[in-house]
Structure 1
């Protein structure tokens, strides 16, 4: 049964900085690298390649290949958009046959089963967005052991379970955009809560960890109330946001939506509770899902990247890996119309900086 993970801060909220005591629920335990408060870049030490490698892969340089894309789940706008990008890139390349397939719910066990089935069927490459970075690793390593190329996007696995990860935006960049947007709306001493997918979903856990580090550094008086799980489920996300609104009343000034499902559902909950202008919603979501709330003025900031470009970049990275054009130690890779993308953090390909959708620009996008 789905359950709500609720942690009360109690006396911590009485301190001058609510966020100085312990790790936020939903955050991972990896080191953080918060960006400068004034917008300057943090210095990141160069890392050696830390990805895995396929065992005796066939030489398919320039030859037709078959690739399966197994996202967290299928049937939602976000992964429909990444799938479109994959298909656009495959069509442009001309020698890639790509198929998107996966579970209809964000279930790691089902995702593993889909990947395992495609290993058995035989494919040349696997693209994935992980529901759990550790649990997915064994099946991805199995694919590598069979000579299958493995590239992640959107949500990473442990690095040694894939060759490359296409990162939509660096985690500390997303964190800064999210927290700065919330501080602008609710003030430096406002209280907020978070609606996420699960506490183990890798990209969300990393964003939350970086949000905590950045908030402590640049907005230390903001107060975190709690984080709740919503399983990438629209109804549960709405219910969780509604519960937060009812539970905290006037104390709650903002809700972070950490998924493309949680953010519009939270906005709908705020709208139905007639709290627009009183409870801010800042989150990650596709512009089409957020247009009604942004255009009504209930939501002012939506943080994302172009998921069509993310899928497009992922299939180009896969082709470059198969062709031997992207190897350990590379500093960039050609990605068609996107130009050259940087390699960061050892084995990640960076799509670019996050984009903030507002009432002024959201109408220009259709995905």
Structure 2
């Protein structure tokens, strides 16, 4: 299968994108559990290849950094990647974006990784659709000298140098349950409307959601189903309808995906369930503003996707400049975002999510 060449945005477009990318907040996390101490050491060795970091190394210019989101026409990734584009412009390096049009095209994403490796880009920032499917291709990229950063959704730790996480996975999973619990007074049947079944970040959050629900204060809340809308608006809309038909006593829905929560809100707002079935999860203020104001949604949360993309870009440049290798404890500067420290399994956290409701949603425009 031939793979389309990555599209390079012209300078004039990049300038417009920079202005358009003054955005803030969304939400995601890592899926790097399940390793033993020995395997973690192996992963660390695979990522760093014995290299030593030089924090004082000069930041390289003229690098080529490619962004490979799960889906190029997804509004969330458009914002995130524009944040990366802006950061690379400021760092004096070149931005590319490429990727599939479908959030479930795993084989297509592998093809794009292979193409970028053949093109000898200096670094790539990848939002992994499947934690295992990309590993072989990403390892080959690293063997060829490409610095690999994952952002938003991780692969296996041995298959990249650093994962840039929106926030700690545990915090993201638990806070969504906490929000819905407060809205429901901790009573009733609930469901989860996720993206793809293989989405690393979604599955990690859902794992922490289920663990949170085991706490005594949730004894009267019951998770009855997890549905998948594949980050497609129509499928997510239909899945919401199906959940409500299948579970007539459903009291609340958590959708940890910006596409899913918007589609669910659209369905609820035009149905008899508006104001009766609570909805929360991860969304953008611009998508959710009208649903908060018309009473469909009480509150939801997110991090800043533009800042996530910018941090991914800074991380890629720091790796390419030799300032970091991906080992725990290494630190690097990310411009106006501040200074960051690499944690366990080569993970860097952007920060805590923000909760949006009627009181503050008009303060945010993204």
Question: TM-score by structure 1 length?
Answer: 0.83
Please point out which of 292, 306, 310 is paired with 2:308.
Answer: 310
Tell me the equivalent position of 2:251.
253
- 1:193–1:252 contact (8 Å) kept in structure 2: yes
**Offset from partner CA, 1:299-341 (integer Å, 9 cap, x none):** 1111110000000000001111111212324343211111112
Shift of 1:227: 0.6
Shift of 1:254: 0.5
Distance 1:315 1:245 in 2: 41
**Offset from partner CA, 1:27-61 (integer Å, 9 cap, x none):** x89469xxxxxxxxxxxxxx86944437799x995
1:89 aligns with 2:87: yes
Unaligned stretches of 5+ residues in structure 1: 1-27, 33-46
Distance 1:60 1:162 in 2: 23
Tell me the equivalent position of 1:75.
73
Tell me the equivalent position of 2:150.
152
Tell me the equivalent position of 1:6.
none
Shift of 1:181: 0.5
Moved more, 118-127 or 305-314: 118-127
Moved more, 140-149 or 61-70: 61-70
- 1:55–1:146 contact (8 Å) kept in structure 2: no
Distance 1:280 1:49 in 2: 45
Question: TM-score by structure 2 length?
Answer: 0.83
Q: Residues 97, 60 of structure 1: CA spacing in aligned structure 2 closer, same or farther, 3 A cutoff?
A: farther
- 2:154–2:201 contact (8 Å) kept in structure 1: yes
Distance 1:54 1:98 in 2: 24
- 1:156–1:202 contact (8 Å) kept in structure 2: yes
- 2:255–2:282 contact (8 Å) kept in structure 1: yes
Please point out which of 275, 279, 283 is paired with 2:273.
Answer: 275
- 1:54–1:145 contact (8 Å) kept in structure 2: no
Tell me the equivalent position of 2:184.
186
Distance 1:316 1:352 in 2: 16
Tell me the equivalent position of 2:4.
none
Distance 2:342 2:99 in 1: 28
Shift of 1:76: 1.6
- 1:71–1:101 contact (8 Å) kept in structure 2: yes
Tell me the equivalent position of 1:111.
109
Shift of 1:297: 1.8
Q: How many positions carry a matched residue from both structures?
A: 323
Please point out which of 282, 285, 288 is paired with 2:286.
Answer: 288
**Offset from partner CA, 1:251-280 (integer Å, 9 cap, x none):** 100011121110010111111223121101
